[in-house]
Structure 1
Amino acid sequence: MPDPTPPRPRAAATDTLTPGLSLDRIGQALASFYDDLIAEGVPEHLAGLVRQVRQPDPDPIVAPRKPATTAPKSGRLALVVEDDAATRALAEMLLEETELGVLGCDSAESALTLMREHSGEVALVFADVRLAGAMDGLQLAAAIALLWPTVRVVVTSGRRAERPATLSPQAVFIPKPWRPFDLLVEAERATTETQPIVL
């Protein structure tokens, strides 16, 4: 008797984690950081992740991932706020290797909604200055400092080499291109250090 269950469709070679972002592009982005990962002594399991993405399964079935979210191992979350899909996906993949669960979005407005929904769980916010909505990353950092002062905030920018004068005093600034090691260090600090409240 034939099996009544229809076969699952196979994923095409252009499957993506986020719309318009192919696994090949993610692999290329990670590959460009590979030497830095090894030079900085990043754990072998993270280097293994790079190798996996560089050589993906030829016939993967990828589930839609919008918004990005993974289960937290420590009960705490990292929120990546970045309007560039490839950069956001890279940051999310790196943070998934930490003790933090991961949420991702492209605007400060979406980030504030997620902060309200997950109040008390978010330990780290990693945001670009330039975002998709009306607010920028500096305004987002100021709002988080006011509403959730114990959350570690890291702001990045490709247009600025130095810390912006208007950035909240408790926020950390990392210019682009940021190194994976720097992001992993900030994730570690978010889970092990108490964030000082700056008045």
Structure 2
Amino acid sequence: MNTSTSERTHVILVVEDEFLIRLDALDMIRSAGFEAVEAVDADEAISILEARRDITVVFTDVQMPGSMDGLKLAAAVRGRWPPIKIIATSGNVRIGLDDLPKGGRFVAKPYTKAQILTAIAEAA
């Protein structure tokens, strides 16, 4: 049985419409020992969440095209899957903790691997 925090079964869903930013985030998360799943928008993220029961954290961009932005996605996740933790990010929008569901975290872009891993550790 795995005992360290990074080896526990945390599965992070990365929701980011910018291809290179998404790849970079996935690499940071995977290199830290977590499993990472990707979605290009909120609609794809919801489909993944409906299909998988092992997602523990949603790491989402705030500004995305589609039917929902990252804040609406965060609210939808909290409503349907309350145990899932939320981490939101943006390079253009500053949000307050009141803009996210209770327990949600915000990390401004550009972020570092250390910032992402700290947010995951605090959320988990």
Q: Which structure has the greater CA radius of gyration?
A: 1
Once the two structures are superposed, the pairs formed by residues 29-108 of structure 1 within 5 Å of their partners are 74-108=8-42
1:95–1:187 CA contact under 8 A, matched in 2: no
Q: Please report the RMSD computed on the Cα atoms of aligned residues, expressed in angstroms.
A: 1.8
- Partners of 2:95 and 2:52 in 1: how far apart? 31
2:97–2:105 CA contact under 8 A, matched in 1: no
- Partners of 2:25 and 2:110 in 1: how far apart? 12
Deviation at 1:161, TM superposition (A): 3.2
Q: Identify, as 1 or 2, the structure richer in strand.
A: 2
- TM-score (norm. length: structure 1): 0.54
Deviation at 1:140, TM superposition (A): 0.4
- TM-score (norm. length: structure 2): 0.84
State the Cα deviation string for residues 73-101 of structure 1 (Å, max 9, x = none).
53331100001101100000011123421
- Partners of 1:185 and 1:128 in 2: how far apart? 17
Look up the SS of the partner of 2:102 in the other structure. Answer: coil
- Partners of 1:164 and 1:129 in 2: how far apart? 13
- Partners of 2:8 and 2:50 in 1: how far apart? 19
Once the two structures are superposed, the pairs formed by residues 76-155 of structure 1 within 5 Å of their partners are 76-119=10-53, 121-155=54-88
- Partners of 1:129 and 1:103 in 2: how far apart? 18
Q: Which has the higher contact order (CA 8 A, sep 6+)?
A: 2
Could you tell me the percent identity over the aligned residues?
28
Counterpart residue identity of residue 182, structure 1 = Q
Query: Is residue 157 from structure 1 mapped to residue 79 from structure 2 by the alignment?
Result: no
Unaligned runs of 5+ in 2: 1-6
Deviation at 1:168, TM superposition (A): 2.0
- Partners of 1:164 and 1:177 in 2: how far apart? 19
